[in-house]
Amino acid sequence: MKLGFVSKLVVATILLAIFTAALLYFSNAKEQLWFWSALVFYFIAGLVIGLRTQKAVTSESNSQFFTGVMGGTGLRMLISLLFIGTYLITSNLKSNHFIIYFLFLYLFFTIFEISQLIYRLRTEKRSSIDNTTS
């Protein structure tokens, strides 16, 4: 069974939700709503940005590919900074555990998206090589 980008993202998010539940259970972290909202935030951002960059990979234009991929990465960084800024302004606790967790999610979802893009590029390259040799 071949999983697509969205289904792999859902599976990865479910595994992270299990990890988050265990982390919150054993660490007795305060303001647990921020942890769950960060996970939902990255799932939605990964879904929107990931689908957009997946389309950029299949485009014929090199400039559209570069703009799509780099724009997606830059957009993820910008909205992540806005989220963490909102947390630091509105939260009374300002937990280091949450900031480390948030940075872990940022790295995880960024690496996940890049690995999916590389996989997609490899399959596109193989199919174009197969088409030219036929």
Q: Are the beta carbons of 64 and 56 closer than 8 angstroms?
A: yes
In a domain, 94, yes or no: yes
Q: Are the beta carbons of 6 and 47 closer than 8 angstroms?
A: yes
Please check the confidence at residue 62 and state whether its pLDDT lies above 90: no
In a domain, 115, yes or no: yes
Please check the confidence at residue 132 and state whether its pLDDT lies above 70: no
Question: So what's the pLDDT on residue 51?
Answer: 87
In a domain, 130, yes or no: no
Question: So what's the pLDDT on residue 1?
Answer: 43
Interacting residues of 54 by C-beta distance below 8 A, sequence separation 6+: 5, 116, 117, 120
In a domain, 112, yes or no: yes
More confident site: 116 or 134: 116
The tens digit of pLDDT for each residue in 34-56 reads: 999 999 999 999 999 988 888 88
Can you give the residue range of the structural domain that contains 20?
5-124
Q: Could you give the number of structural domains in the chain?
A: 1
Say what the pTM is. 0.86
The tens digit of pLDDT for each residue in 10-33 reads: 999 999 999 999 999 999 888 899
Q: Are the beta carbons of 30 and 133 closer than 8 angstroms?
A: no
